[in-house]
A and B are shown apart, each in its own frame.
Chain A
Amino acid sequence: MAIAVGQSVPRVDATEKVTGRALYASDVRLPGMVHAKILRSPLSHARLRRIDASKAAAIPGVVAVLTRDNLDVSSPYYGAYIKDQPVVALEKVRYVGDIVAAVAATDEKVAERAVHQIEVDYEELPGIFNVEAALSESAVIIHDENPARKDPKYGYGANLIRHDSSNIFYHFHYERGDAERAFNESDHIFEETYHLSSAQHYPLESHVSVADYQGEQVTIWSGSQTPFPLRQEIARMFGLPLSRVRVMVPYIGGGYGAKSGIKYEALAVALSRLAKKPVRLSLTADETFKTLCDPSAKVTIKTGVQKDGTFVARHCEVYLNGGAYANSGPTVTERAGYRAHGPYRIPHVKTNCYCVYTNTVPGGAFRGFGGPQVSFAYESHLDMIAHHLKIDPVELRLKNLLDRGELYTAGNIPIDCDLRSELKLLAEKIGWGKPEAERNSKAGVKRGKGIACAVKDGGGVNKEANATVKILIDGSVILFLGAAEIGQGVRTALMQVAAEELSVQPGRVQVAPLDSAYTPFDRGTHASSAITVMGKAVQAAAQDARAKLVVMAVEVFQAPSAAIRLDGGKIFAGEHSASIDEVMRRYFGDLEGEIIGNGRFKVSRRDDAPLGYPATFWENGLAAAEVEVDEMTGMVKVVNYVSLTDAGKMINPLHCRGQEEGSVLFGIGHALYEQLVYRDGQLINPNLVDYHLPRFRDLPRSFHSIIVEEGGGTGPFGAKGIGEGGTLAAAAAICNAVYDATGVRLYAVPLTGQRIWAACAQKTQ
């Protein structure tokens, strides 16, 4: 009987969060702290001719003004893979909202006033707002400064194609078999193009950085999902040893990828160094919209099929609008490209995925990470194939879905879950194939069902995680882990893992705050990876601590290690037993001591793995949706929604459900409501009045989330990561349902009322 794992134990941050005592970066207050505001570019593309901050600097209360003229750093550029983003604009601004300068002052009002006093002369350049314009012959090159970049080494079937003097900053290519020949040998060829809009994560807590540069060291408080890579960037940019850069991550008010990778921290650090005071930089909601987005995508997908529905070949061309700076664009591109052909048995595949610079908000990490873009396409496309061939869409999927144990691509771990039985379960739950009691419930309103099945390679790539478990002299335990708490409950779940390994009650394990001075290195909290990658590290650390405890017990009990057993906080050796603290006190004698257990986990490189590293696990997202479409208004109501994902083994069932359901609403939001809208390069809806986030009213009337436990995960006790699955299947499931209801196929999301009405109206003509 498990002592901790598999139980919905209360969150370790529960009381703090419900009483309002939880500390977020936005709550950090330091003595003498000053406040920063940013001057942002009003133009989408321009050379910075002249910048004069003298008037601003003279305003009483202003303690520092940062421009390119006094940005004194070892390297002014940052970026996860391509270092193309400067702390403040150097020669150019590249999108409306780009950072030009910043002011630190005694309060925000003064800082805001000072920002408006900074004089800037711009020389406007032609703005490029979409991929077509960026790739045209005459297109201006947005990044002509040849940024430093770190290109990965791919394995079997994959390669990176460089495009110099182009706005394409990343081009991922994957190939197997001979797609062109296979198309010629197919009975049918289907080709379609799908569009997914860009979207905003909208974490309720905006980006906030507090930096305190003192002497030759700096402390940063930030809601960062990647504190250690952040530390690395800051150290590099400011010429500091890593040991002198300290990153503290309080609770984070929402991440979803928005806080993955360095964002405003370097700016706050530079200001603090200038001001010689702690600096707080807190964004408004408007600025959050102008920081990062999910890149919009155009996916052309072509499939060669035999008349019995067997897939033979697939060719995908994916264009991502990467915005003004690369950010995590390169990895999103490689993932979208790798995921584009879907979890199906297709011998011949060819995929190109391009990420393109434009003068719009930079695209980057977003829940689903390129997965939603391509799964929308391949699952909608599959339904159209089914309808053309007059095969039931569920049957067509069952025919072609990969089995557990089959390979998605050579050089990767096999599929670790039973997609076919999961799909069947889902179909049953939504009443698939049952005759409709009433197709048209009322005049002009039509009902339909749709289903979708998608996977993503989960766990990230090149991820190293470390953890430490300390057993203190009184038998209490502290767990140190670098996984950031963005709401997913990882600190609770991994506390449970540690407790399980030590055979102690969960309440006995305290999770230490995330502080790079004490917390061992971790690559970052993203890719649904923490439960597996950090989980294994935590498990190893707990096992290491346990082993050391056993060594002590051997001495204390004078028994062989094989006879030692841990259970419920006690140590047994034959008929003798003692509590952990008794054993430790007897071992250490009068001296106090503690046990330190260390653990590390990293998935090894595999030269044959297409992405250089195999996936840690396969994250799946299945969904079935039933919708009502009002053809007169185009409005879609989701009346029934069933989602399914496989957690391998749920460490904390309640929190798994929360993550799955949250990810579904994210997916529904993107399918029905969310899009960034530009006019001449200006983002016209950077606020919640004009950007619709899903609300209580948008919760499907009936919504069930199913989390299966197929035990195939690489994480502790067979766990797999979840939390993104819901974003993979929603758009296609809903679009397929709309097609079932109305006979109209929508090729672009979000499914706004206008789009649906226009498509339905056209069909009736």
Chain B
Amino acid sequence: MNEPMIPLRFRLNGQECRAEVDGADLLIDFIRDRLGLTGTKRSCDMEICGACTVLLDGKAISSCSVFAFEVDGRDLLTIEGLAGREGLHPLQQAFIDCGGFQCGFCTPGMILLAKSLLDENPDPTVEEIREYMDANICRCTGYQMIIESIQQAAKRMNRERT
């Protein structure tokens, strides 16, 4: 069956991007194989672990379970787009400073999920961090140091805002 390719026009990490995909292409494969951005990781493949988390219009989604064509007309942020020209995003720096990762495989998804949390709730309590971040799994850190990383980032980002 040779269905016509679906044209896409979207913003990728802040830049205009055009591409063509098959209907059945999954977003994660489009990102990793077609765009060559391998920071987004595949693990459980069923929306449980969150290693594949990317932000679509600022919302955390599981790229393993979304069709690639869904990005048309929208804003996609992968981990590669987080650091700015001035350097690492405060979340990235905080994860480094506070030991928020070890093997690093859950990290891109975890950091993006944390970004979506802080974008919506810039000063979350520990309880709010736990509840929100519960979406993603880490097998290495034991979670406590991820929470501290997010608290550190929130503090820095709020300081910069004032």
Contacts and interface: CB of A to CB of B under 8 A. Distances in A.
B39 interface: yes
B141 interface: yes
B99 A285 contact: no
Contacts of B136: 696
B23 interface: no
Contacts of A202: 139
A18 B102 contact: no
B60 interface: no
B48 A20 contact: no
A663 B140 CA distance: 8
Nearest to B24: A109
Contacts of B111: 18
Contacts of A703: 142, 144
A252 interface: yes
A655 interface: yes
Contacts of B93: 18
Interface in B137-158: 137-147
A253 B37 CA distance: 17
B82 interface: yes
B55 to A, nearest CB: 13
B104 A13 contact: yes
Interface stretch (A22-30, A260-268, A524-532): A22-30
B116 interface: no
Interface residues of B, number: 51
A558 interface: no
Interface string A463-495: 000000000000000000000011111000000
Contact of A204 (B38, B96, B97, B103): B103
A19 B79 contact: yes
A525 to B, nearest CB: 12
Contacts of B78: 20
B132 to A, nearest CB: 9
B95 interface: yes
Interface in A655-669: 655, 657-659, 661-666
B137 A486 contact: no
A205 B134 contact: no
B125 interface: no
Interface in B33-49: 37-46, 48-49
B51 interface: yes
A661 B141 contact: yes
Interface string A622-641: 00000000000000000000
Interface of B is mostly: loop
B44 A687 contact: yes
A487 B39 contact: no
B104 A253 contact: yes
A10 interface: yes
A693 interface: yes
A603 to B, nearest CB: 27
Contact of B145 (A14, A486, A657, A694): A657
A658 B142 contact: yes
Contacts of B95: 18
A252 B38 CA distance: 14
Contacts of B146: 696
B83 interface: yes
B30 interface: no
* Chain A interface mostly: loop
A557 interface: no
A11 B38 contact: no
Contacts of B137: 204, 688, 693, 695
B40 to A, nearest CB: 7
A606 B103 CA distance: 36
Given A14-B96, A20-B37, A204 B101 contact: no
Interface string A237-256: 00000000000000111111
B118 interface: no
Contacts of B18: none
A693 B134 CA distance: 12
Contact of B41 (A10, A16, A204): A204
Given A19-B83, A204-B41, A665-B143, A699 B130 contact: yes
Given A17-B101, A20-B79, A206 B43 contact: yes
Contacts of B45: 284-285
A388 interface: no
B119 interface: no
A576 interface: no
Interface in A4-41: 8, 10-11, 13-24, 26-27
A616 B83 CA distance: 43
B134 A487 contact: no
B28 to A, nearest CB: 12
Contacts of B88: 15, 18-19
Contact of A17 (B37, B42, B49, B104): B104
A135 interface: no
Contacts of B139: 201-204, 254, 256, 662, 666, 693
A707 to B, nearest CB: 13
B147 to A, nearest CB: 8
B143 A696 contact: yes
A694 to B, nearest CB: 8
A564 interface: no
B57 interface: no
Contacts of B76: none
Interface string B62-91: 000000000000000011101100001000
A689 interface: yes
A609 B111 CA distance: 48
Contacts of B98: 654
Interface string A189-226: 00000000000011111100000000000000000000
Contacts of A14: 96
A643 B96 CA distance: 24
Given A20-B78, A487-B103, A693-B137, A699 B39 contact: no
Nearest to B110: A18
A199 to B, nearest CB: 12
Contact of B133 (A203, A489, A696): A696
Contacts of A661: 141-145
Interface in B13-34: none
A634 B111 CA distance: 35
Given A664-B142, A693-B139, A18 B101 contact: yes
Nearest to B42: A26
A256 B103 CA distance: 11
Interface centre among A202, A284, A285, A658 (most CB of B within 10 A): A658
A252 B96 CA distance: 18
A181 interface: no
Contact of B97 (A10, A19, A489, A655): A10
Contacts of B138: 204
B100 to A, nearest CB: 9
Interface in A307-326: none
A661 B39 CA distance: 25
Contacts of B145: 657-658, 661
B107 A17 contact: yes
Contact of B104 (A22, A285, A687, A689): A22
A27 B38 contact: yes
23 contacts: A14-B96, A18-B88, A18-B101, A19-B39, A20-B37, A23-B38, A26-B41, A203-B103, A204-B106, A205-B105, A253-B103, A253-B104, A285-B45, A655-B102, A658-B142, A661-B144, A688-B44, A688-B49, A693-B139, A696-B133, A697-B131, A699-B142, A699-B143
Given A18-B104, A253-B104, 19 more contacts: A19-B80, A26-B41, A204-B43, A204-B106, A204-B139, A205-B43, A206-B43, A254-B140, A485-B103, A487-B101, A487-B140, A654-B98, A661-B145, A663-B142, A695-B143, A696-B147, A697-B134, A699-B143, A703-B142
